[in-house]
Amino acid sequence: MGKCMQGFLDEQFMELEELQDDVNPNFVEEVATLYFKDSARLINSIDQALERGSFDFNRLDNYMHQFKGSSSSIGASKVKTECTMFREYCRVGNAEGCLRTFQQVKKEHATLRKKLEHYFQASQ
Amino acid sequence: MAEVMRSETLNISNNTSSLASPELLHVLAVDDSIVDRKFIERLLRVSSCKVTVVDSATRALQYLGLDGDNNSVGFEDLKINLIMTDYSMPGMTGYELLKKIKESSAFREIPVVIMSSENILPRIDRCLEEGAEDFLLKPVKLADVKRLRDSLLKAEERVFKNIMHKRELEANDIFSQLKRAKI
């Protein structure tokens, strides 16, 4: 894992890499693909829920719990940190905090996506 | 003229080891997260386990034949050595699944491991009290899976040794009977 990844991905990503072998050479990329597909769905659900303006914090927290979980499984540390913050705002019912943090979540998510795209292209 | 042994006296026990195949544990993994399903499946395969993955507790119960639609009578061929389930799942939680498994006469002996991303002590206690074999924090480590596998294989080995010992005793018993009958 190169220097450009540092901070964005933690040891969990390295654990994923260790699970790759000659028989399953694309395991990490497959996991990443599933992650981005799944997280896109969750981002969409949260976006829609926030746009509606009705802050069902339980529901938002539920989405974010899933998002945080899969981010953790892929080792996306920065995304995970933002997810934790979002959940804190949900917990105290702070709508503005949720909106603000969610922008950060999306930003980190997009950055990670670009980095991983380059990473996988480079390892072809 | 030798007397034919009556079938009752030839009652050699026919239990086989519950391993799915030699040295291969069969694990049922339950998780609603597609990323985590992919991950746990890989961890288990790398640890030389046979894996069945389902996306909900309901599906797990269906697979085990515990969903009430079938009676689990026909499920003797289903050899599961370990169930690993996520705790937080929509619908039925891993905890509720654990309870259902422990209530079932067919499957209560199967070790159930709970996985969770949240380190909540009362939750852990509750699961262990309900009979969970272990509680793993997510993301699960390969070392955790290997440790589970090794401990299960040891337990299977003990069961196997007991069965072999029992067979030996039964064989000796029959031999003695044959001697007495002077066959």
Query: Which residues are bridge partners to B27 per DSSP?
Result: B51, B82
Burial of A94 (0-12, 13-18, 19+ CB in 10 A): middle
Please give the structure tokens belonging to residue A22.
Answer: 């000659």
> Has domain A25-122 been given CATH number 1.20.120.160?
yes
Residuewise pLDDT in 10s, chain A (124 residues):
666 778 899 999 999 999 999 999 999 999 999 999 999 999 999 999 998 887 899 999 999 999 999 999 999 999 999 999 999 999 999 999 999 999 999 999 999 999 999 999 988 7
Cβ of B38 and A74 within 8 Å? Answer: no
The pLDDT tens digits for A72-87 are 999 999 999 999 999 9
Q: Which of residues 60-119 of A touch B (CB under 8 A)?
A: 65-66, 68-70, 72-75
The amino acid at residue B69 is D
Distance of alpha carbon B12 from its chain centroid, rounded? 24
Distance CA A25, CA A31 (A): 12
Contact residues, chain A, for B142 at CB < 8 Å: 15, 18-19
Residuewise pLDDT in 10s, chain B (183 residues):
555 554 444 444 444 556 555 568 999 999 999 999 999 999 999 999 999 999 999 999 999 998 876 554 445 578 899 999 999 999 999 999 999 999 999 999 999 999 999 999 999 999 999 999 999 999 999 999 999 999 999 988 888 899 999 999 999 999 999 999 876
Please give the structure tokens belonging to residue B139.
Answer: 């993301």
Cβ of A73 and B138 within 8 Å? Answer: yes
Distance CA A119, CA A90 (A): 34
> Quick count: other Cβ atoms within 10 Å of Cβ A20?
17
The pTM assigned to this predicted structure is 0.85
> Quick count: other Cβ atoms within 10 Å of Cβ B13?
9
Distance CA A77, CA A13 (A): 10
B78 and B65 Cβ atoms separated by less than 8 Å: yes
Domains in chain A: boundaries: 25-122
Query: Does an H or E element contain B85, and which?
Result: strand B82-86
The answer to whether ipTM exceeds 0.90 is yes
Which domains can be identified in chain B, with CATH numbers? Answer: 24-153 (3.40.50.2300)
Cβ of B88 and A70 within 8 Å? Answer: no
Query: Which residues are bridge partners to B30 per DSSP?
Result: B54, B85
